[in-house]
């Protein structure tokens, strides 16, 4: 499972409230997508293209655990999210909705806004095309990789619960 | 094994589990509020389309709305009510109180059980010796509702050993805020935090509550306190259902121990933009506030209302300050009536709001303009959570909130308690 695309870079400790504002939580996904991360970079919701890669710092997606934050990111067509570290609810939600996330310590020092990155979700390897830098992120657990391949937890749940044979 | 390992082993039908393993465990209680419950119900009915396996284990509490301010929000609540009726789950309507307090006070949270919820502060139930974690909508709709189960990676445990006693005017909330700053946002990612030590053992249960409450915001998966006689007596007040009190085998079960002495602690405030931005109140004293509030997941307890009353008794809040008092449950409001605190706080200039989660995320109340600031007992202070992204939110103890309301600026409560 691989992603290749242009990078959008964000900082540390970004809460889900800044990804999708709480007062938009009851709106449509189109509305959430149209405003996603706009407080931190107004150009992002307007210019992000399918296949682009979001890079962020430590503890990305902290605060409220609503899956609408990763769902709004997924709705932009992002190929992958690459972070120094992720808040655990956000991390869990990404895999449960089928959005690839790679934890890659050191990533923010190596990439600039607009760099083109190649991401291997399985091994965690990230390559920066401009500099040729190769980073070794964390390998994705096979359990979570299966979840991504299935398209999230919903198609897998019966099998996990021991009640259906996939 | 420690407490969460024992609970996860039992709930997944194993004799033993170890950190790092993925287990599928039976879920005893799913807590949903009006906002997360709505998002979850849409996924459950539109994408999952299976029957609700154990409706008796699912509890929805309308706590972000005590009265819907718009037609769209009224419609959300109506759809939630219809969802609750269709599937036979428990519903606590507007005015019941904060989701976590309602869950505890109605006996849904019992030691030794697995508690999950969409609210990210669900780990607070580790206070009662549960394994409690916040999960996402797709976990709840996809697995908990149709199968009564959830998957978990067994967390590594950090033991947080707390010792010492604080002086008058310093409260357990100050200790919890300070600890948030010490551990740091993301300072305990994916871990279980075992709160222990003489300081924790001495506290009453509603004060212990403030410690597992911080776990999500330091990045941990869950937090817990080994249950003792206080826990047993506390839970027995709210339920006649039997429960199994499990405890960690020994301190050696934690992979790491961090020890903190809170004896020298001063009253603390977490200032915008993040929870890790914790300072002694003295450092920020003099910052103007227009709003004060007792409320939220950890606030609006009878303990908070009493603390505020001790400062407000015989005093008035400053001109220009609005002081919202939001009881965490109907029982707390009744208790405050009985103790004469409703009249006392009203006389001081406070406004009582219905039992709810108050200004949390400003769904129903608590929006601010760019120039405004609030001091509150809430759990979060991120920009944009209460109206303008420029508005400031200071988090502190009920004593600090009350002292600041009297002066109209952040104030060390010890000035009033000498």
Residue A165 has pLDDT above 70, yes or no: no
Tell me if A88 and B190 make a contact (CB, 8 A cut-off).
Answer: yes
Q: Which of B307, B326, B273 is nearest to B416 (CA)?
A: B307
CB hemisphere CA count around B3 (13 angstroms):
30
Q: Please answer yes or no on whether A160 and B276 come within 8 Å at the CB atom.
A: no
- Partners of B26 in the β-ladder: B149
Domain boundary among B244, B260, B276: B260
Residues 110-129 of B with CB under 8 A from A: 118-120
In a domain, A117, yes or no: yes
Query: Least CA distance to B33: which residue of chain A?
Result: A66
- For chain A, what is the domain count? 1
* Residue B368, SS3 per DSSP: strand
Phi-psi region of B349 (alpha: psi -120 to 50; beta: other; left: phi over 0): left
> Are A17 and B139 in contact (CB < 8 Å)?
no
Range B221-235 average pLDDT: 97
Q: Are B303 and B371 contained in the same domain? A: yes
* Cβ under 8 Å to A: B residues 361-380: 361-363, 380
Q: What is the pLDDT of residues B188-213, one digit of tens each?
A: 888 999 999 999 999 999 999 999 99
Strand B114-117 to strand B29-33: parallel, antiparallel, or no bridges (unpaired)? parallel
Asked if the Cβ–Cβ distance from A89 to B135 is below 8 Å, we say yes
pLDDT by residue (tens digit) across A76-114?
999 999 999 999 899 999 999 999 999 999 999 999 999
Domain boundary (B205, B227, B260) is at B260
Hey, what's the torsion of the CAs at B182, B187, B193, B196, to 10 degrees?
-20
For residue B54, which of B32, B26, B13 has the smallest C-alpha distance? B26
Question: Are B240 and B280 within one domain?
Answer: no
Residue B178 is encoded by which pair of tokens?
A: 């300070």
Q: Which residue of B has its CA nearest to A155?
A: B142
- Give yes or no: residues B243 and B374 share one domain: no
pLDDT tens for each residue of B129-175: 999 999 999 999 999 999 999 999 999 999 999 999 999 999 999 99
> Does A139 contact B at CB distance below 8 Å?
no
Q: How far apart are CA B216 and CA A88, in angstroms?
A: 9
pLDDT > 90 fraction of chain B, expressed in percent and rounded: 92
Judgement on whether residues B246 and B326 belong to the same structural domain of the protein: no
Whole-complex ipTM:
0.88
Closest CA relative to residue B221, chosen from B108, B103, B122: B122
Could you tell me which chain B residue has the CA closest to the CA of A152?
Answer: B138
Supply the CATH number for residue B375's domain. 3.30.499.10
Judge whether B47 is closer than 8 Å to chain A, CB to CB. yes
What order of strands is seen across the sheet that includes strand B192-196?
A: B222-224, B192-196, B157-163, B256-261
In a 3-state reduction of DSSP, which class is residue B260?
Answer: strand
Q: How far apart are CA A50 and CA B256, in angstroms?
A: 43
Looking at the fold, whether B19 and B140 belong to one and the same domain comes out as yes
Q: Any chain B CB within 8 A of the CB of A43?
A: no
Measured distance CA(B211)–CA(B204) in Å, rounded = 12
Domain containing residue A126: 2-160
Same structural domain, B399 and B321: yes
Quick one: average pLDDT of B254-263? 92
Q: A52 vs chain B: nearest CA distance in angstroms?
A: 24
A166 inside domain: no
């Amino acid at each position: 499972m691989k992603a290749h695309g242009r990078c959008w870079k964000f900082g540390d400790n970004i809460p889900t409230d800044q990804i999708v504002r709480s007062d938009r939580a009851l709106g449509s996904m189109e509305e959430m997508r149209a405003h996603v991360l706009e407080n931190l970079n107004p150009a992002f919701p307007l210019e992000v293209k399918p296949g682009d890669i979001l890079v962020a710092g430590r503890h990305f997606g902290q605060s409220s655990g609503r899956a609408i934050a990763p769902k709004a990111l997924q709705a932009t067509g992002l190929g992958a999210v690459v972070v120094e570290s992720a808040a655990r609810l956000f991390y869990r939600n990404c895999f449960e909705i089928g959005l690839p996330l790679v934890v890659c310590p050191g990533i923010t020092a190596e990439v600039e806004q607009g760099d083109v990155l190649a991401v291997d979700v399985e091994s965690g390897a990230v390559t920066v095309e401009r500099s040729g830098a190769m980073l070794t992120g964390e390998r994705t657990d096979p359990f979570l990789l299966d979840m991504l391949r299935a398209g999230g937890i919903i198609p897998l749940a019966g099998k996990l619960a021991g009640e259906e044979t996939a | 094994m420690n407490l969460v390992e024992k609970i996860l082993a039992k709930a997944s039908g194993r004799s033993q589990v170890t950190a790092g393993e993925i287990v599928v465990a039976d879920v005893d209680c799913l807590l949903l509020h009006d906002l997360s419950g709505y998002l979850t119900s849409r996924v459950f009915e539109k994408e999952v389309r299976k029957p609700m396996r154990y409706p008796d284990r699912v509890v929805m509490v309308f706590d972000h709305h005590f009265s819907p301010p718009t037609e769209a929000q009224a419609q959300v609540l109506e759809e939630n009510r219809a969802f609750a009726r269709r599937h036979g789950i428990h519903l606590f309507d507007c005015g019941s109180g904060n989701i976590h307090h309602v869950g505890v006070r109605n006996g849904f949270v019992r030691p030794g059980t697995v508690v999950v919820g969409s609210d990210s502060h669900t780990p607070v139930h580790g206070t009662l010796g549960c394994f409690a974690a916040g999960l996402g909508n797709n976990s709840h709709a996809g697995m908990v509702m149709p199968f009564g189960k959830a998957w978990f990676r067994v967390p590594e445990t950090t033991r947080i050993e707390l010792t010492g006693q604080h002086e008058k005017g310093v409260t357990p909330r100050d200790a919890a805020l300070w600890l948030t700053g010490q551990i740091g946002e993301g300072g305990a990612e994916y871990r279980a935090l075992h709160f222990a030590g003489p300081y924790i053992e001495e506290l009453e249960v509603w004060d212990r509550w403030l410690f597992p409450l911080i776990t999500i915001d330091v990045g941990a998966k869950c937090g817990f306190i080994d249950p003792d006689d206080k826990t047993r007596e506390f839970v027995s007040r709210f339920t006649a259902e039997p429960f199994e009190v499990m405890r960690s085998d020994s301190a050696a079960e934690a992979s790491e121990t961090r020890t903190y002495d809170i004896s020298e602690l001063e009253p603390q405030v977490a200032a915008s933009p993040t929870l890790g931005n914790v300072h002694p109140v003295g450092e920020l004293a003099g910052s103007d506030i227009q709003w004060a509030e007792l409320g939220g997941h950890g606030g609006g307890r009878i303990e908070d209302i009493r603390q505020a009353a001790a400062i407000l008794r015989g005093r008035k809040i400053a001109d220009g300050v609005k002081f919202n008092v939001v009881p965490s449950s109907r029982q707390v409001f009744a208790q405050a009536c009985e103790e004469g605190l409703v009249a006392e706080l009203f006389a001081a200039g406070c406004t009582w709001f219905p039992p709810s989660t108050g200004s949390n995320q400003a769904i129903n109340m608590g929006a601010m303009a760019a120039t405004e600031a609030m001091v509150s007992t809430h759990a979060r202070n991120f920009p944009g959570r209460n109206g303008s992204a420029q508005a400031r939110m200071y988090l502190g103890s009920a004593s600090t909130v009350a002292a600041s309301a009297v002066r109209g600026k952040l104030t060390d409560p010890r000035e009033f308690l000498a």
